[in-house]
Structure 1
Amino acid sequence: MTLPPYADLLGLHLEPQADDAPPVLMLPFAEAVTGRPNFLHGGAIGGLLEMAAIAALYHALDQAQAQIKPINITIDFMRGGRPKETRAMGIVSRLGSRIANVEAVAWQDDRETPIASARLNCLIKRA
């Protein structure tokens, strides 16, 4: 799976999953993603959530060639991201022929205690 260049800029890594499981992305902590002292920058968390949603869409499209363009994104920040690894996973709630709705959740220590979540509407242009 090839993610947009922004994923490389953030240093995101795909974690191994079962074939049918949605991909999980991991954001390693680095000074480049620091906001206020000892916290992740909100933009880095937002970028992680967006990339997780796009990865979930590519997974749902079964690696089909498609261009994905977010139409709108709503992010809910629930708690500050601490200086440690952060993971995110996207879940496709609706996959139409041209529009997809995706949710994404980011967490650090426990998946049941998210630090942020997002809802995206994306335009899909299939090849």
Structure 2
Amino acid sequence: MLPPYADLLGLTVDPDLSDAAPVLIMPFGDDVLGRPGFLHGGAISGLMEMAAIAALQHALAAEGGAKESRGRIKPINVTVDFMRGGRDKPTRAQGVVTRLGNRVANVEATAWQDDPAKPIAAARMNYMVARG
């Protein structure tokens, strides 16, 4: 379902799923280490991008269009805002599709560690969606 980069980051899907988009969990480890004791900004960005893709796939599946769009989601642009340093603990992220058009989708994603109301980073992404 997710691109191979998700495996590199060690991402898993939070088993507490509802009807909302999946929440992804990234464990802290040497592979995502930036300065000592903190997450690398690229790892945080990658986590949010994967969460955005998961949210978009979830929205497409809800429309019944997952099969046509599989592998045909391409990023147009990404803007990331870092709010605080990610510490040495698991980090979660979830995407929200704010607009799903025929060719372009807008998705927002946030990453947090202890409290979803206190994100460590947020992103806005636009994707091209090729529909069958």
Q: Aligning the two structures, in what range does the TM-score lie when normalised by the shorter sequence?
A: over 0.9
Q: Which letter maps to 2:128?
A: L
1:5 lines up with 2:4 in the alignment? yes
Structure 1 vs Structure 2: percent identity of aligned residues? Answer: 66
Alignment of 1:39-118 (within 5 A): 39-62=38-61, 64-65=66-67, 66=69, 67-118=72-123
Separation (CA, whole Å) in 2 of partners of 1:37 and 1:79: 15
Separation (CA, whole Å) in 2 of partners of 1:11 and 1:119: 23
Deviations 1:2-26 (A, max 9, x none): 10000011000011202x1111000
Q: Secondary structure at the match of 1:25?
A: strand
More strand per residue: 1 or 2?
Answer: 1
Q: Secondary structure at the match of 1:61?
A: helix
Separation (CA, whole Å) in 2 of partners of 1:72 and 1:14: 25
Deviations 1:10-49 (A, max 9, x none): 000011202x111100000111100001000000000000
Q: Which letter maps to 2:66?
A: A
Separation (CA, whole Å) in 1 of partners of 2:14 and 2:113: 14
List alignment gaps of at least 5 residues for structure 1. Answer: none
Moved over 4 A (4+): none
Separation (CA, whole Å) in 2 of partners of 1:125 and 1:77: 30
Number of residue pairs aligned between Structure 1 and Structure 2 = 125
Separation (CA, whole Å) in 1 of partners of 2:131 and 2:49: 19
Q: Secondary structure at the match of 1:37?
A: coil
TM-score, with structure 1 as normaliser: 0.96
TM-score, with structure 2 as normaliser: 0.92
> What residue in structure 1 maps to residue 27 of structure 2?
28
